[in-house]
Amino acid sequence: MILSKAAEEKMTRAKYPSLSAHSMAGAAAMMPHVGMNLEHNSKTWTIIKTLASGPFSEVFEAMDADTREHFAMKTEKEVGTIRPVLKLDVFVLRMLQSRNPIGFPRIYDAGRTDNFKYVVMQLVGPDLSKLRRSLPDKKFSLITALRVCAQTLDRIETLHDMGWLCRDIKAPNFAIGLGDEAGIVFMLDFGFARRFIDNNGNHVRPRAAAAILGTIHYAPIASHYGREQSRRDDLESWFYMCVELVAGPLPWSHLDSRRQHQLICECKQFARKGGRHQFLKDCPLEFSDILSMIDSLKYYDRPNYRLISAQIEKAIDRLKLDRYAPFDWQVDNGKILERAAVIGDLGESHLLSVKLREARKKLEATEPIDIST
């Protein structure tokens, strides 16, 4: 669920009527910011730059003052957050980290001050949405897209087998690694996750009604109708993401998620019927079979991830694609990565040229930070 800053602040005032605008502003001023040294838990973190920003939380690039290594730092306000999610995010990542799976960022530190909670984790590269929108045709080459689809499916299977649903599968919640891990796709952000296996190992029963969660453009049809989500629904959201990576923007991407969510639902339903050919016309033939597999699943079913993955492999073989080819972001001397680093969130890409010029000027005027010692 995405709220504008004004809307979320309005909800905060309603929930905390005694919280004055002055108090909210004061709390905001105490949040981490670029240039700040955060000293906590016997560690000193230097905030280098902002990676992502929201009304009540931010993600920064931070440097360990002792080792000069760079990490990501995610922060959340202690007061005024409508739906605190950082604690859940950390809990799920720590559970995953205990199994040491590939494609999930490692946590290095976590704590809280009087004003905010924070977690320090592995720094990763641009997310899939920014990478896709950095390409001229706003879509990946077919082999890159299919390999990314396979990797993201594997991450979802890992999460599901730990007993958790994501409930917010979308391209911005997957990012590529850095350096030697540039070919690995990492799964991020578990603030909407929900445990679907109880302590006895049984699948929990669906609630009579459930709130619409996640991002409407990727949300499963069940969510539009207020029904409980299951593993099937995570895969439905994953499928919309895959179509976007292969073919470009979804047919309903231009619709307003707040005012036209029912029309978005109708578009998804039409994509199963008369609009199926048009919806999948730029995708491999195997995508129609994958959609049928997902739609055939019932609430309690465990998806056959291997069979779905086999359909992706089948498409690669049938189309004679090179599954060992470099990814799109590895073959252009870093131009896609440069664009993705400044493109901004969805809807802000019109500022790309200006941001690129500013970033290059700043880079030319600044001595690089030595992190070798």
- Summarised one tens digit per residue, pLDDT across range 290-324 is 999 999 999 999 999 999 999 999 999 999 999 99
**What's the confidence (pLDDT) of residue 205?**
94
Note if 168 is an active site residue: yes
Which of 168, 233, 234, 328 is catalytic? The answer is 168
Q: What is the dihedral of CA 359, 361, 365, 371, to 10 degrees?
A: 30
Q: Measured on CA atoms in the order 332, 337, 342, 343, is the torsion positive or negative?
A: positive
8: left (phi over 0), alpha (psi -120 to 50) or beta: alpha
* Token code pair at residue 303: 């998806």
Phi, psi of 29 (to 5 degrees): -65, -25
**What's the confidence (pLDDT) of residue 361?**
54
**What's the confidence (pLDDT) of residue 122?**
97
Which ranges of the chain have pLDDT less than 50? 1-9, 11-13, 15-16, 18-19, 22, 24, 347-356, 359-360, 363, 366-373
Alpha helix segments (H runs only) across 180-271? 221-224, 231-247, 261-270
Strand, coil or helix: 40:
strand
Identify the structural domains of the chain with CATH numbers, from first to last.
36-122 (3.30.200.20), 126-342 (1.10.510.10)
Exposure string (b/e) for 214-242, b if CB count within 10 Å is 16 or more? bbbbbbbbbbbeebbbbbbbbbbbbbbbb
Q: Report the predicted TM-score, pTM, of the whole model to 2 decimal places.
A: 0.85
Contact 44, 66 (CB under 8 A): yes
* Token code pair at residue 151: 């990797």
Cα 242–Cα 247–Cα 249 angle in degrees, nearest 5:
85
**What's the confidence (pLDDT) of residue 28?**
53
Phi, psi of 245 (to 5 degrees): -65, -35
16, 161, 223, 231, 332 from 197: Cα distances, Å: 34, 9, 20, 11, 44
